[in-house]
């Protein structure tokens, strides 16, 4: 398509976003052309300052927008339990469940020999320091149910076993509202292994 250069550039920017193909990028770009200048200005300012305004907590690794981290606020959170997550984004999914009120620890990724990401790239030493300092009693591993997630969980278990903490991992099983006919063998096998008292 022979779009004018500025429009091509805008389409190209949108195509860098995950899940956005040529057609969607074109739709977004044409949509923006209809926005009033004040809204375009607002959007560009938000994008420009996002990294400056958003900080990472030096203790838990979660994102924060002010001096103190709400996820590390010991007056509101239970410091006896720490939930280990791969990315700071996972916090928000868990918080939405309203079932967990402990602390978090962002690992910064998963172990991956293929991508040459070893334990030294993760915040495991920092985690051990926090567990000791906070006198934590329980660690909940909330990592993906993938080869990398399994390998990282196993490594963490070995690393933390010498500490006086109870280690658990999120249960895996049949998705809510689904029929057994549609559940794959691997998921069903995991659901059997992780079955609970009923
Ligand atoms: Zn924090």
Write out pLDDT tens, residues 77-95: 999 999 999 999 999 999 9
Measured in Å, residue 105 CA sits from the centre of ligand 1 at 8
Measured in Å, residue 75 CA sits from the centre of ligand 1 at 13
Measured in Å, residue 129 CA sits from the centre of ligand 1 at 14
Per-residue pLDDT tens digits for 140-155: 999 998 899 999 999 9
CA distances from 2 to 5, 8, 34 (A): 9, 9, 20
Measured in Å, residue 159 CA sits from the centre of ligand 1 at 22
> In the predicted model, what is the mean pLDDT of the chain?
92
- Over residues 128-135, the mean pLDDT reads 95
Report the C-alpha gap between 10 and 14 in whole angstroms. 6
Task: Give the whole-number percent of the chain exceeding pLDDT 70.
Answer: 100
Measured in Å, residue 21 CA sits from the centre of ligand 1 at 36
Measured in Å, residue 54 CA sits from the centre of ligand 1 at 13
pLDDT band at 165 (very low <50, low <70, confident <90, very high): very high
User: For residue 66, is pLDDT > 80?
Assistant: no
Residues with CB under 5 A from ligand 1 (ion): 57, 59-60, 62, 69, 71-72
- Contact yes or no for 127/157 (Cβ under 8 A): no
Report the C-alpha gap between 174 and 192 in whole angstroms. 10
């Amino acid at each position: 398509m022979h779009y004018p250069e500025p429009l091509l550039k805008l389409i190209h920017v949108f195509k860098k976003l995950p899940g956005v193909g040529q057609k969607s990028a074109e739709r977004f770009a044409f949509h923006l052309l209809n926005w009033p200048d004040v809204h375009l200005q607002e959007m560009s300012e938000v994008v420009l300052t996002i990294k400056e305004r958003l900080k990472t907590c030096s203790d838990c690794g979660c994102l924060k927008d002010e001096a103190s981290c709400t996820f590390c606020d010991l007056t509101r959170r239970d410091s006896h339990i720490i939930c280990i997550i791969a990315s700071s984004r996972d916090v928000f999914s868990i918080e939405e469940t309203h079932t967990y009120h402990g602390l978090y620890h962002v690992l910064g990724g998963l172990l991956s020999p293929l991508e040459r990401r070893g334990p030294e790239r993760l915040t495991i030493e920092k985690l051990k320091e926090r567990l000791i300092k906070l006198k934590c009693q329980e660690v909940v591993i909330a990592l993906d149910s993938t080869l990398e997630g399994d390998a990282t969980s196993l490594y963490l278990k070995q690393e933390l076993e010498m500490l006086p903490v109870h280690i658990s991992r999120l249960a895996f099983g049949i998705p809510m509202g689904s029929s057994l006919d549609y559940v794959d063998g691997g998921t069903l096998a995991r659901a059997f292994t992780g079955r609970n008292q009923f």
